[in-house]
Structure 1
């Protein structure tokens, strides 16, 4: 059922101009006061924050580059209509639901290498790289076979037939692109553990240009190529990911500073104890992401039960929110590296200082993002589509996105700095409770039982993010009070 605009968010739109203006002004005032507090904190902790930002900015730019590929795809696919955009949203959500476990496993090598660097055990860093390469390629193969089997069961998700048909071939093409992605991710996470961050950033930005050009050629059939529409966007993603993997491999293998680690592409000397260590940190890390991303992916499915317009609006709003989220992931990664270095040095005070500074920086980033979403909520959806119904719904979702920015930032950084402590099992339980025990049931009740539709589903996501943020912060405060044995 497609709810009319008034029924999906009466608590947002059935107010007079004065009440609406007062609502926005009160939140703007709170955000500005928070910014004043943050500026004071920055002055008092300048050196520590500079260390975090020095590591964070290349990761932030690189992460934004990655998410911009999805944004560009959404914009260009959006020109084909609501159904292809909905099919892209469904496909990417389902694929990412499985892929995030493999990516989370790959990310684990960064804090492990950072700890070794802090402990001056440089000779062991290359061992972790080579074993993670083996693990990540196997994980990529598993994910591909899951996608290959899963495309035959899209009809079980209750989506429209038109969306299902367009999603099938697109999902298989994206599945093929996972192999170069996992190779790129392995090299990227390894050198980031060594605090070398700019190469991956530069390569990711260059890949965006390739993705835009390939989308233009393959989606719309330019320069003599056939018009592939949504499948063209899939092949553009494959080409850009292949470029990323090849470029970073060549850079690392030809750079003299990495020679001592043996970063060549081979499978000799399998080290099962190291593989076990990688998996012990990596798999729980992957499931942390899985429970969060899974909640958002299941939200996509629930919104699909409401209608194609709501699903398209969700894709627009979540795409914009993902830009700010990828930025805070950079801060999370930097915080994890610095916490890992401090663990290697066995310095408790530095562990806590670096961790809490990363949380504060994440809050600052997301505060700015929330301001942007509130102020430009009626204009940002026009970047993606011209359908007025979709734009109206998306603008309402951006208000909720603005409200959950702080919680999202805190929980994202919390996971990163806890990973720097190699604490992954507790956060995995926390994310499961926050999203699957609290967020999704509340979202379903508000959306379908209380008649709020897509707005209700998003309120459920807001509540889950807030619970996760509180629990992860409390856990870091507890776990960082004692030394980690390395």
Structure 2
């Protein structure tokens, strides 16, 4: 919506970058879903070490994949944009956006996997609040400021996205690290066991 205020070329270039980012995002999104199940199973069998192993594996694989995707976005931006359009103007602008999208990718992968891991630990309220604050209270104002007040245009809007995702990813990772502490995860497991015994 914000990009539409900048013009047709900007919207087209934005759509190219967003489509490529969305394509690679499918992988960490799947990893996050699988990680939620793995962590949930580890909690169910009262295995704190299993929770930590699942977290490390999921984050490592997601970060590795998204880093490779980011590298492609940085090294081959014009070639990737050329897969979508023949317009030299759109390709040139998309080539400016894709390296930014590369950094966006890494944060996006980390935040979606962290979200899945926290979901496996039955921690859903905090991630929701962090996402709302990050995207609505940080992302949109920063995007508006950079894109319009600072007159950076489409790249400015994307840098706003990066700022929001970076903040969300860092906070979710910190939350995950806190919950994985031995004494905290023990409480989570005990609460889960109590809920199961009550249900029976």
Give the alignment's TM-score, normalised by structure 1: 0.38
Aligned residue in 2 for 1:380: 80
Aligned residue in 1 for 2:195: none
Query: Is residue 2 of structure 2 the alignment partner of residue 302 of structure 1?
Result: yes
Q: CA deviation at 1:418?
A: 0.5
Aligned residue in 1 for 2:147: 447
The structure 1 residue matched to 2:112, chosen from 412, 426, 450, is 412
Rounded Cα–Cα distance in structure 2 between residues aligned with 1:371 and 1:448? 28
SS at 2:151 equivalent: coil
Cα deviation digits, residues 182-203 of structure 1 (max 9, x gap): xxxxxxxxxxxxxxxxxxxxxx
Rounded Cα–Cα distance in structure 2 between residues aligned with 1:353 and 1:311? 42
Aligned residue in 1 for 2:51: 351
Rounded Cα–Cα distance in structure 2 between residues aligned with 1:332 and 1:349? 18
Aligned residue in 2 for 1:403: 103
Rounded Cα–Cα distance in structure 1 between residues aligned with 2:11 and 2:105? 21
Question: What are the ranges of 5 or more consecutive residues in structure 1 without an aligned counterpart?
Answer: 1-300
Q: Which has the larger radius of gyration?
A: 1
Q: CA deviation at 1:398?
A: 0.2
Q: CA deviation at 1:349?
A: 1.5
Aligned residue in 2 for 1:370: 70
* 8 Å Cα contact 1:336/1:355 also seen in 2: no
> What value does the CA root-mean-square deviation take over the aligned residues?
1.1
Aligned residue in 2 for 1:131: none
Rounded Cα–Cα distance in structure 2 between residues aligned with 1:306 and 1:395? 17
Cα deviation digits, residues 28-49 of structure 1 (max 9, x gap): xxxxxxxxxxxxxxxxxxxxxx
Rounded Cα–Cα distance in structure 1 between residues aligned with 2:5 and 2:104? 24
Cα deviation digits, residues 104-123 of structure 1 (max 9, x gap): xxxxxxxxxxxxxxxxxxxx
The structure 2 residue matched to 1:472, chosen from 172, 176, 185, is 172
What are the residue-to-residue correspondences of 1:70-81 with 2, within 5 Å? none
Aligned length: 186
Rounded Cα–Cα distance in structure 1 between residues aligned with 2:84 and 2:53? 41
What are the residue-to-residue correspondences of 1:141-290 with 2, within 5 Å? none
Cα deviation digits, residues 4-62 of structure 1 (max 9, x gap): xxxxxxxxxxxxxxxxxxxxxxxxxxxxxxxxxxxxxxxxxxxxxxxxxxxxxxxxxxx
Rounded Cα–Cα distance in structure 2 between residues aligned with 1:344 and 1:353? 15
The structure 2 residue matched to 1:459, chosen from 159, 162, 168, is 159
SS at 2:122 equivalent: coil
What are the residue-to-residue correspondences of 1:106-125 with 2, within 5 Å? none
Cα deviation digits, residues 203-223 of structure 1 (max 9, x gap): xxxxxxxxxxxxxxxxxxxxx
Aligned residue in 1 for 2:20: 320
Cα deviation digits, residues 367-418 of structure 1 (max 9, x gap): 1001111121011111111111111111111010112222111111000100
Rounded Cα–Cα distance in structure 2 between residues aligned with 1:317 and 1:342? 37
Rounded Cα–Cα distance in structure 1 between residues aligned with 2:134 and 2:8? 28
SS at 1:383 equivalent: coil
What are the residue-to-residue correspondences of 1:13-162 with 2, within 5 Å? none
Query: Is residue 121 of structure 2 the alignment partner of residue 421 of structure 1?
Result: yes
Q: CA deviation at 1:471?
A: 0.3
Aligned residue in 2 for 1:24: none
SS at 1:431 equivalent: helix
Rounded Cα–Cα distance in structure 1 between residues aligned with 2:169 and 2:60? 13
